[in-house]
Amino acid sequence: MSKFISLIAMPNLDVSYVDSLPPSYYRVLTAVEMGMKNHDYVPLNLVISLSGIRHGSIPHIVQELLKIKLISHIGAPIDGYALTYMGYDYLSLNVMKRRGVISAIGSRIGVGKEADVYMAMRPNGQYVVLKLHKLGRTSFKTAKTKRDYMGPRKSASWMYLSRLAAVREFGFMVALKERSFPVPDPISINRHCVCMSYVEGIPMHAIKDIDIEAANLLAKDIHTQMVRMLRYGIVHGDCNEFNAIVQTSDPENCTPETTRVVIIDFPQVIQSIAPEAEEQFNRDVMSVEAFFNRRFGADIVLPRYNEVMRQISEEELVGQQIDATEAFAKEMVAKYDPDEELEIKEGDEAVDECSNSMVDDDADPVDKPKEPMMRKVVDIRQAVQRQLRKEQWRRIQHQRQSKGTEKHRDNYRRDL
Measured between alpha carbons, how far is 291 from 253 in angstroms, rounded to an integer?
A: 21
Residue 135: phi, psi to the nearest 5? -75, 155
- Distance between alpha carbon 106 and the CA centroid of its chain, in Å? 18
Measured between alpha carbons, how far is 64 from 146 in angstroms, rounded to an integer?
A: 38
| Of 280, 286, 242, 39, nearest in space to 148 by CA | 280
**SS3 per-residue string spanning 93-155:** HHHHHHCCCCCEEEEEEEECCCEEEEEEECCCCCEEEEEEECCCCHHHCCHHHHCCCCCCCCC
Measured between alpha carbons, how far is 2 from 4 in angstroms, rounded to an integer?
A: 5
Q: Is 33 exposed, middle or buried (0-12, 13-18, 19+ CB in 10 A)?
A: buried
| Of 47, 75, 46, nearest in space to 387 by CA | 46
Measured between alpha carbons, how far is 270 from 13 in angstroms, rounded to an integer?
A: 31
Measured between alpha carbons, how far is 173 from 12 in angstroms, rounded to an integer?
A: 27
Is there a catalytic annotation at residue 410? no
Q: Is the dihedral of CA 406, 407, 413, 416 positive or negative?
A: negative
The answer to whether residues 212 and 300 touch, using CB atoms and an 8 Å cutoff, is no
Q: Is 307 exposed, middle or buried (0-12, 13-18, 19+ CB in 10 A)?
A: exposed
**Cα dist from 125 to 20, 105, 120, 175, 215, whole Å:** 22, 12, 9, 27, 35
Measured between alpha carbons, how far is 372 from 355 in angstroms, rounded to an integer?
A: 7
Quote the DSSP letter at residue 42: B
Measured between alpha carbons, how far is 301 from 313 in angstroms, rounded to an integer?
A: 23
Q: Is beta strand 115-121 parallel, antiparallel or unpaired with respect to 104-111? A: antiparallel
The answer to whether residues 238 and 265 touch, using CB atoms and an 8 Å cutoff, is yes
Measured between alpha carbons, how far is 188 from 96 in angstroms, rounded to an integer?
A: 8
Beta strands, E only, 6-103: 71-74, 80-83
Catalytic residue among 116, 148, 238, 284: 238
Measured between alpha carbons, how far is 116 from 273 in angstroms, rounded to an integer?
A: 31
Catalytic sites, residue numbers: 238
